[in-house]
Structure 1
Amino acid sequence: MIVEWKTTRVGDQINLQRGFDITRDGAACGPFPVISSSGTSFYNDKAMVSGPGVVIGRKGTLGTVFYVEGDYWPHDTTLWVTDFCGNNPRFVYYFLKSLSLQDFDVGSANPTLNRNHVHPIEVLWPPREEQDGISYILSTIDGKIESNCLVRRNLESAMEQIFKSMFKGKEEKDEALNWCGRSFAKYTSDQNRASDGWSIVKFGQITDRISMGPFGSRIKAENFVDAGVPVIRGSNLAGMFVDGKFAYLSNEKADELSASRAEAGDIVFTHRGTVGQVSLVPDDGEHKRYVVSQSQMVATVNEEMCSRYYAYLYFSVGRGRWEIESNINTTGVPAISRPSTFLKNVTFPLPNRELMSAFDGIVRPMFNLASQCDKESSILLELRDLLLPKLMSGEIRVKDAERMVGDVI
C-alpha cells in the first residue's frame, strides 16, 4: 500500500443521502439549479443544500456525477453528499467518477442506485494533501476544456451573426435575421440579385461531388478493425466538425468504398435518422480520410466558386437547413427521399466574388481556431480519462501527472 494512503470504506469518508422531491410545475423561477440524475433540469427560488456539493444519479440515469459550486436542490432521482468528513469536495467528485457506479444497479425495470450498496465499497484513500493535488490537476484539465468549449461557442455564434449580416439591408431587419424562413422567395428573386452580382444556382452546380454512403450490405462485421479508416456516423455529427468516437474499417475496405469517402473540407449531411445534422471535416483532423455511413452523404464544395464555410453555414443556420427539414419524410424512420438528387437541387444563393472572398477571409481563421480548440480538448479528454483511474489508485503520483499535463497545456 502507498505510504499514508489507507484502506477504508466509502461510507467512512462521505455520507450519501437521497435527494428531495420537486417537480418542474412545482418549482418557482429562481437562481438555484435543481440537479437530477441527468444534470441541471430546471431552476427554483429555493435551495435545499449549500454548495459546494457533489451529486450522483440514483434513478434512471445511473451513476452520473455532478459537481456544484453554489447552493442547489438535489432532486429525488439523486444521492447527494451530506458530509465530506474533512475531504476535498472536488476530489470526492473525481473519486466518485472513477467508480463504476452503474454496476451497483439494484432496480428491476428502472435502474436504481442504493446508498447502502455504495457506502460499504472498500477503497484506497489518500491524505488531504494528496487529494488537493489530484483535484487541482484534474480540475485544471477540465477548466481548460471548458474554456475551449466557451471559445468555440463564442466563435460559432459570431460566425452565424456574420453570415446573417451579409443579408441585412435587403429586407426589413427582422426579415433579414429570419432569412432562413419563408421570406426567402422575395429576397432571392433574380431581379433583386442581378444588380449586385449575386446569382441563384442549384447546390450541385457549385460542388465537385455529392456522394452517398454505401449500402449497409456492403459493410460486414468482419470489415471493422481496431484502427484504420474511420466511419462517419450520426453520432460524429454533433457539432461544427466531424468528431467523436469512431468505428474503423480496414484500409482495403475503405479503398473499395472510395466513392463514399470524405476528406478535409468536405461537408457531411445526415439524410436518414437525425436528419438535419451537418458538419465539416476539419483540415487539421487526426485522420486523412473517412468513409461516410449509409445514413450520411458528403459534398465537396468547389472553392473556386464558393467558400465551404459559407455553404456549411447555409445548411446549418440558413435557408438550407429549412429546405432539408421541410422535405423530411416522417413515415417510419425520418428520411429524405432520393437524398443526393434532393441536395443537388437545393436552391443556393451565391454571393458575388468580392463579398464571398471578404466573408471567407473573416470566418476561415475563426473556423481554424474553433477546430484547434476542439482538437486540444480531445487530447485533454484522453489525458484526463487516462489520469483519473491512475491517480485514484496511486499508480501515477501528483508530480508525474503535473509533468504530463504541463506538456499539453
Structure 2
Amino acid sequence: MPASPMICMPSSIVAESLSQSCAPAFKGSMSTNTLLGGEIARGLGGESRVKWPLRRSSDLFELRYGKALVASSRRPGRVPVFGTNGQTGTHDTPLFAGPGVIIGRKGAGHLGVHWTDEDYWVIDTAYSLVPDADIDLKYAYYLLKYVGLNHLKHGTSNPSLTREAFGAQYFPVPPIDEQVLIAETLSAIDDKIDANSRTVAQALTLARALFESSLAQGTRTAQVGAVSEFHNRRRVPLSRREREQRPGAVPYYGATGVFGYVDEALFDEILVLVGEDGSVVREDGGPMLQYIWGKAWINNHAHAITGLIVSTELLFLALDRADIRPIMTGAVQAKVSMGNLKSVGLRLPVGKALDVLELALAPVFSLYRSRINESAQLRKTRDALLPELLSGRLRVSIQESA
C-alpha cells in the first residue's frame, strides 16, 4: 500500500491555543540552561512550546560565501545567479551544485531565503546554505524562511548577517524522516500555489487573446468616461500612523498595489484601479492597472472605476492596451487626473463580436479570481501550519492509503 503523509492536528489550526492530543510530546527538548551563547530562533513560541530537541545553528549549517559576478562578466546561459534578494540574472557556469538554499547576507533591504532545484551561482551579497547530514535541505529552507533573517543583521550603512549571529540561534531538529514529511507537506501546498499562479497567468493571456481577436472583427473608439463609472468620492486616504492604529485584514490599496491592511472596507465589488499620481505609467506607455475584488480600502492615489456599458473585465482589457502618456501631467510627480483619464480613447469591439467576447470573458475571469482566492487561503493555511509543524506541536505521520 502506498504511504501518504497525514497531519495530526486539532480541529482548528487558527485557534488561539493549538493543543496536541494525538501524539505525545517528543522527549529531549533542551532546558533553558543548555542554550549557551545563543537563544531559540524567533517565531516558534518559546522554548517551552518546542517539542523537538534544540540544536545550535552553527552545528547544523555551514554558510558558504558567494563570489562576485558583475553583469558585464556574465556569459549567456541558464544557470541562475542569486543575490541577497533572489535571482539577479543568469550565467553559463555554476558555483554550487543544486538543489540549494540561498540566504541573503547583506543589504539595507529584506534578506531573502530562496530555493533552487538547479545548479546555481551565488554572488558576494548572499550565502549558500550547506546543512549537516542529519538535516533535510527542504526542511531547512522552510525553517529559515519562516524564522527570517532581517532581525539578525548588524550595522547601519550596509547591514550584514554574520556567520556568528546566524550560528547563535537554536533550531528544533526532528528526526530526519519527520523533517522530510514536514517538507513534503509544506511543498505540496506551495506546489498547488505555483500551479494556481500558472493558471492565473494563462487565464490572463487567454483573456487578452480573446480581446484582440474580437477587435479584428471591427472596432469603435469610445472615451473612458463614456464606458465607465468613477467611484473616486468613496476613496479615503489614511496615513501610515492611522493604518497602524486600525489593524485588520482588509487590503489598503494605492496606485501600484497593497500598502497595508486595515479593519474596515470602503468597497466590496469588482473594480479596476488606475494609478492617479506617482507611479502611473508602465514602460510601454500603458497605465498602472489593478483588477481587484472583495473587501477593500482605496486611497486617493488610484482611480476606482467599473464598467458602465461594458463589463469591468472588458474595461480592464481595453485600458491595458491604452497609451496614457499624452494625458500625463506633473513635472516632479506624474499625475493622471480624472478629467484627463476620462478623455482617453479606447478601442472596443462592436456588434456580435462584443456580445460573444463578454460571454467568453466571464468564465475566464471567474477562474482567474477563484485561483487567486484559493492561493490566498492556501498561504494562510501554510503559514498557520509552519510554526506548529516546525516546533513539533503538530505531527506528520504516515497513513496507509487503500
**Structure 2 CA distance for aligned equivalents of residues 227 and 274 of structure 1:** 26
Pairing 1:112–2:160 present: yes
SS of corresponding position for 1:234:
coil
Q: After superposing the two structures, state which structure 1 stretch, 355-364 or 221-230, moved more.
A: 221-230
Tell me the alpha carbon deviations over residues 15-65 of structure 1, each in whole angstroms, 9 at most, x when there is no partner.
111111111110111121111111111111111111111110001144310
C-alpha distance 281-132 of structure 1, shift in aligned 2 (>3 A): same
**Structure 1 CA distance for aligned equivalents of residues 150 and 238 of structure 2:** 35
The alpha carbon displacement at 1:210 in A equals 4.7
Q: Pairwise mapping of residues 141-180 of structure 1 onto structure 2 (< 5 A)? A: 141-168=189-216
Unpaired stretches in structure 2, ≥5 consecutive residues: 1-24, 29-51, 281-286
Unpaired stretches in structure 1, ≥5 consecutive residues: 170-195, 238-243, 255-260, 403-409
Pairing 1:36–2:83 present: yes
In structure 2, the residue matched to 1:281 is: 292
**Structure 2 CA distance for aligned equivalents of residues 217 and 75 of structure 1:** 40
C-alpha distance 73-330 of structure 1, shift in aligned 2 (>3 A): farther
In structure 2, the residue matched to 1:72 is: 120
**Structure 1 CA distance for aligned equivalents of residues 244 and 169 of structure 2:** 41
C-alpha distance 382-26 of structure 1, shift in aligned 2 (>3 A): same
The alignment's C-alpha RMSD in Å is 2.7
**Among candidates 303, 307, 310, match of residue 306 of structure 1:** 310
**Structure 2 CA distance for aligned equivalents of residues 119 and 34 of structure 1:** 25
Tell me the alpha carbon deviations over residues 258-300 of structure 1, each in whole angstroms, 9 at most, x when there is no partner.
xxx5442332212012213222333xx3x3xx44211111122
Pairing 1:202–2:223 present: yes
Q: Pairwise mapping of residues 133-144 of structure 1 onto structure 2 (< 5 A)? A: 133-144=181-192
Taking structure 2 as the reference length, what is the TM-score of the superposition?
0.78
Instruction: Say which structure, 1 or 2, has more relative contact order (CA 8 Å, 6+ apart).
Output: 2
C-alpha distance 226-215 of structure 1, shift in aligned 2 (>3 A): closer
Contact (CA 8 Å) 1:27, 1:45: kept in 2 or not?
Answer: yes
Q: Which runs of 4+ in 1 moved over 6 A?
A: 217-220
- Paired AA for residue 29 in structure 1: P
Taking structure 1 as the reference length, what is the TM-score of the superposition?
0.77
The alpha carbon displacement at 1:203 in A equals 1.8
SS of corresponding position for 2:72:
coil
Contact (CA 8 Å) 1:59, 1:77: kept in 2 or not?
Answer: yes
- Paired AA for residue 333 in structure 2: V
Contact (CA 8 Å) 1:27, 1:43: kept in 2 or not?
Answer: yes
Tell me the alpha carbon deviations over residues 160-198 of structure 1, each in whole angstroms, 9 at most, x when there is no partner.
1222223347xxxxxxxxxxxxxxxxxxxxxxxxxx6x5
In structure 1, the residue matched to 2:261 is: 246
> How many residue pairs end up in the alignment?
345
Pairing 1:394–2:392 present: yes
Q: After superposing the two structures, state which structure 1 stretch, 145-154 or 209-218, moved more.
A: 209-218
The alpha carbon displacement at 1:135 in A equals 0.2
In structure 2, the residue matched to 1:258 is: none
**Structure 1 CA distance for aligned equivalents of residues 140 and 249 of structure 2:** 38
Structure with the largest fraction of helix? 1
**Structure 1 CA distance for aligned equivalents of residues 56 and 126 of structure 2:** 20
The alpha carbon displacement at 1:214 in A equals 4.4
In structure 1, the residue matched to 2:273 is: 268
**Among candidates 52, 57, 80, match of residue 10 of structure 1:** 57
**Among candidates 382, 385, 390, match of residue 383 of structure 2:** 385
The alpha carbon displacement at 1:207 in A equals 2.5
The alpha carbon displacement at 1:67 in A equals 1.0
Q: Percent identity?
A: 23
**Structure 2 CA distance for aligned equivalents of residues 151 and 124 of structure 1:** 36
